[in-house]
Structure 1
Amino acid sequence: MALATPSRTAALLTVLLTLLLGAAHPAAPHEDPPLRRTVSAWLPYWDQEAAYLNALRHADQLHTVSPFWYETKAADRIAPHPGAGERLVIDGLHRAGIDVVPTVMETLRPGALAAIVTDPARRAAHADALLATAVSRDYDGLDLDYESHATTGNAEYAAVRDGYAALVTDVCARLHALAKTCVVTVMPKTATTGRIWDYATFGKVADRVRIMGYNLHWAGGTPGPLSTPRWYDEVLRTATALIPPERIELGLPAYGWDWPAAGTATDAGATAHVTWKEAEALRRAHRVPYRLDPASSTPRFTYTAGAHTREVWYQDARGVAGHLPVLRRHGITRTALWALNFEDPAIWPVLAQGAPRA
């Protein structure tokens, strides 16, 4: 047989040593990279403590929380809601790696918002007030959620649209100069709705445009789903033609409406807002079987209250799972949840299905 040469002996020793080291230190099992944080959510001030703790439980998916903390009262006055600016919430979210971008909303009397955004002096004063709010705490930016101008009449809508776009452009530029994030929340835009919103401008100047993907049927209308895959397809087809998809967050509902059933008497009571938790508790209390409407991928049920029939449409994890394929088709990976502690807990793993790996 052949004799071992020095070089062959060294090679054999190297192989033996590698095998021994491999046995002593086995290769680590393959692990998938973590999911990117692709979810933002609003935090309702009226349920602040529970919503805050809920956010911490889902910190691995949340990149931003927007506490619903401020309300515009006039061009130069932005008032805090109860609990606004609470240090425990801000610091706790930051420690969890979540940005805090509070929402400024408004419910001004008809025409008041239009008067602010179409007057250069008032608009500038309002931008100053918004920036003062942004620097009043250790905030990472602002979310502008202004909605009362959405019903502006035909004669002046173009001026209001341009004035609001000018306000958003100014505020975003000033936030960016402070290394803060600018978010603008808007209603859905389709071929026949939402023309007050200048999506093209928002897509250029804002870091994120949150489209409220709900209230296809709303409190003031007839019973029906808050959203449908077909409606989302139209909304996102319109949006992605004007806004880069990576800047869009589609707002998903974690709530529903409890209507008097269509055709009910006028004394049947008003339409009521219900969170997922409240809707499910109501369904179970009345022992109604769970039903997912196949056309809209939305849970619904009816029940009897006194002499009247009522109809509830809401959203849960199964419904959202039926809507996510539409988002994927349009390249939308970011979602926004209205609102923390309203939701079906099973929605979080469903939302993870739309999140790419880091």
Structure 2
Amino acid sequence: MVIGVLAHPSRTVALTVAGLLAAALLPAASAVASAPLPTRPLSPSSVATDASSASAEPGAGGAEPPRTVSAWLPYWDQEGAYQDALRHADQLHTVSPFWYQAISAGRIDPHPGAGERRIIDGLHRAGAQVVPTVMETMKKGALAAILTDPAQRREHADALMRTVRTRDYDGLDLDYESIAATGESTYRAVRDGFTALATDLCARLHELRKQCVITVFPKTRTTGRIWDYEAIGRVADRMRIMAYNLHWSSGTPGPIADTAWYDDILTRATALVPAEKLEMGLPAYGWDWPADPAGKSKTGHVTWKTAEALRLKVGAPYQLDEVSGTPHFSYLDGKERREVWYQDARGVATHLPVLRRHGVRNTALWALNFEDPELWPVLARG
């Protein structure tokens, strides 16, 4: 960790705990097909049009209620997450299956189940756009080397475009996080390299009438500087801010997010990016920490579902921290005291007024089939 650059790690930690270990037990994915397939007509401006209509009252003038929610679909719970998406398709603008991983400049590998046509077709029939996520967990310096070398950067953009052509996708979501801890001596070059990649990729996607979504860390006084929000806001259709992990697995117990933090994030973001292009990432998960930081036991990842099941099992009372807008409880595991902080519908309801104050209507949920079912009517009310 570089102090002053990265105050909290991203969702990648959750992926490592809940996804990559599980994925090791799954059969290897088949190679991604390289032949291009027909694409659905999509205007890059459709995102802004969708967002600009969000202020309309449901049913006004015969118009359908606006779709203001995007959500990631985790490959390690693919069927459950898919069925969850179908149940709430009337609210979903975009579903981003967490399907691809960048390995090198020219190599994008599929996760298990990537590109399943039944899921793509089913989401399309339900009216949701399918914009798969490409993530990476490269070794230190590897992604930076790609971004700062024009030839490797072009090779990487070529690989991303080959990926989007393999299926009837509506675009790509780029979720590259290992550069967050870039040191002072190189961060400007890496930042500009990422901006150049995003600019090139978005232009190529728009030529195919596909969406370009860029996922970023929150920008605060100490985080997020590697992402040039203003430049990304100019080229991307949507910029997703991962507004979670204020307290994270390797840190001390505490809220996953809080209202003051959201206000700081959105004050900075809306000064640089049009509000209609922003998606505020909301957590549907949490962490189960040892209460004693000096303890030897590990922090566990929980979804809302598993956190609530645990709370009921141990008989802990429900508590909502009014300052942060985050539920939490503690319990004894043998002789060890543990502390769980997570997020639910009631907590999100306390955060949404902050989004409204900044004119941000669009949200992105991490992740489908993690969440409190009561979250959906809360999001519908905005």
Fold agreement, TM-score > 0.5: yes
- Seq. identity, %: 69
Tell me what 1:50 maps to.
Answer: 80
Q: Which residue of 2 aligns with 1:252?
A: 282
State the one-letter code of the partner of 1:204: R
CA distance in 1, matches of 2:352, 2:154: 40
Deviations 1:151-189 (Å, cap 9, x if unpaired)?
011110000000000000000000000000000000000
Which residue in 2 is equivalent to 1:141? 171
Question: Post-superposition, which runs of at least 4 consecutive aligned residues in structure 1 deviate over 3 A?
Answer: 30-34
CA contact (8 A) 1:191 1:238 kept: no
1:267-316 CA deviation, whole Å, 9 max, x = no partner? 2x111110000000010000001000111010000011111111100000
The residue type paired with residue 322 of structure 2 is P
| 1:238 equivalent in alignment to 2:265 | no
User: Given that residues 301 and 311 in structure 1 are in contact (C-alpha distance below 8 angstroms), is that contact kept between their aligned partners in structure 2?
Assistant: yes
Relative to structure 1, is the Cα distance of residues 288 and 158 closer, same or farther in structure 2, using a 3 angstrom cutoff? same
Matched position secondary structure for 1:266:
coil
What is the RMSD computed on CA atoms of the aligned residues?
A: 1.1
Match of 2:216 in 1: 186
Inter-partner Cα distance in structure 2 for 1:177 and 1:34: 29
Paired with 1:130 and 1:97, the residues of 2 have a C-alpha distance of: 25
Q: 1:47, CA displacement in angstroms?
A: 0.3
Q: Which one of the candidate residues 255, 264, 267 is aligned to 1:225?
A: 255
Q: Is the 8 A contact 1:264 1:308 kept in 2?
A: no
The CA distance in 1 between the partners of 2:217 and 2:123, in whole Å, is 27
Question: Cα distance 1:31–1:112, how it changes in 2: closer, same or farther (>3 A)?
Answer: closer
Q: Is the 8 A contact 1:105 1:145 kept in 2?
A: yes
- Contact 1:276–1:343, Cα closer than 8 Å, also in 2: yes
Q: Does the 8 A contact of 1:69 with 1:82 survive in 2?
A: yes
> Is residue 59–residue 65 contact of structure 2 (8 Å, CA) maintained in 1?
no
Runs of 5+ unmatched residues, structure 1: 1-29
Q: Distance in 1 between matches of 2:332 and 2:59?
A: 51
**Alpha-carbon distance, 1:31 to partner:** 5.7
Question: Are residue 40 (structure 1) and residue 87 (structure 2) matched?
Answer: no
Aligned to 2:310: 282
Give 1:198-213 correspondences, 5 Å limit.
198-213=228-243
Taking the aligned partners of 1:227 and 1:165, their CA distance within structure 2 comes to: 27
Residues 327 and 342 in structure 2, CA contact (< 8 A), matched pair in contact too: yes
Q: Does 1:327 align with 2:358?
A: no
Residue aligning to 1:7? none
Please say which of residues 304-313 and 202-211 is displaced more in the overlay.
304-313
**Is contact 1:107–1:148 with CA below 8 Å preserved after alignment?**
yes
Q: Between Structure 1 and Structure 2, whose CA radius of gyration is higher?
A: 1
Cα deviation, 1:195-245, whole Å, max 9, x if unaligned, reads 111000110000000000101111111111011010000000000000000
Structure 1 residues 65 and 155: CA distance shift in structure 2, 3 A: same
Q: Which sections of structure 2, spanning at least 5 residues, go unmatched?
A: 1-57
Q: Given the two structures, how large is their TM-score scaled by the length of structure 2?
A: 0.83
Give the aligned residue type for 1:301.
Answer: F
Matches within 5 A, 1:1-358: 33-261=63-291, 263-267=292-296, 269-354=297-382
Q: State the alpha-carbon separation in 2 of the partners of residues 307 and 219 from structure 1.
A: 21
Q: Distance in 2 between matches of 1:322 and 1:277?
A: 20
Q: Is the 8 A contact 2:80 2:369 kept in 1?
A: yes
Q: C-alpha distance in 2, partners of 1:181/1:154?
A: 32
Q: Is the 8 A contact 2:217 2:223 kept in 1?
A: no
Task: Give the whole-Å Cα distance in 2 for the aligned partners of 1:264 and 1:337.
Answer: 29
Counterpart code for 1:266: G
Equivalent pair of 2:105/2:152 in contact (CA under 8 Å): yes
Q: Deviations over 1:62-81 (max 9, x none)?
A: 01100000000000000000
Q: TM-score, normalised by structure 1?
A: 0.89
